[in-house]
Chains A and B, each alone.
Chain A
Amino acid sequence: SQTIHQWPATLVQPVGSPLSLECTVEGTSNPNLYWYRQAAGRGLQLLFYSVGIGQISSEVPQNLSASRPQDRQFILSSKKLLLSDSGFYLCASTDRRRDGYTFGSGTRLTVV
């Protein structure tokens, strides 16, 4: 079965600082990978998804970017954080059988 490692668990960053959140997947190959965000009082919003190395699709225009340098590695980045980037970020994957999602433990980002 799949396991997702996501870090850090919590992060406090000043406005204007860069961001890098990493997600790695074990137990599968060629997964679809996703970054979701939950802002305060809102549901889980899909930010990016990737069907393969170097293939990134963005769902919403924003201050963030994503990269997939390796098959089982998915990175969420920002050059300059905004206050509105605060939220709970979740990495998720679906395996080759595309049979259900596995989620990471999430990162709580607070931009101050």
Chain B
Amino acid sequence: AQRVTQPEKLLSVFKGAPVELKCNYSYSGSPELFWYVQYSRQRLQLLLRHISRESIKGFTADLNKGETSFHLKKPFAQEEDSAMYYCALTRTSGSRLTFGEGTQLTVNP
């Protein structure tokens, strides 16, 4: 069975500090990993996916198959990064997503 774990429900950092949101997964095959974000009063939206290998809004995430992790990182957090972040996994593109519990990030001024 596939499973996604985000160990931190809440994470608080100061503006300009580095931030890392942890995500670990369990899956026997080769999954696709995603990070979704929900800003206050907005819809859940895709932030980035591991196959794109891109940086969105300064965030990056590297898939580490050895450690089965897909941590989300940003070197300098901004106040507008405050949101709920979900790590998610799917077997193949378009099939059902399995989400982690989510991490509420707060960036303080």
Contact = CB atoms under 8 A, between A and B. Distances in A.
Interface of A: 32, 34, 36, 38, 41-46, 49, 59, 90, 92, 94, 97-101, 103-106
Contacts of A90: 44
Given A101-B46, A104-B43, A105-B43, A44 B94 contact: no
Given A101-B46, A103-B43, A104-B43, A43 B102 contact: yes
Main secondary structure on A side of the interface with B: strand
A32 B94 contact: yes
6 contacts: A32-B96, A34-B96, A42-B101, A43-B101, A99-B94, A100-B49
B101 A94 contact: no
Interface residues of B, number: 21
Contacts of B44: 90, 103, 106
Nearest to B45: A103
Nearest to B41: A105
Contacts of B49: 100
B96 A46 contact: yes
B94 A36 contact: no
B83 interface: no
A44 B46 contact: no
Contact of A101 (B9, B97, B100, B102): B97
B28 interface: no
Contacts of A100: 46, 49
Contacts of B99: 36, 43-45
B94 A94 contact: yes
Interface string B65-109: 000000000000000000000100000111111111110000000
Contacts of B24: none
Nearest to B99: A44
B6 interface: yes
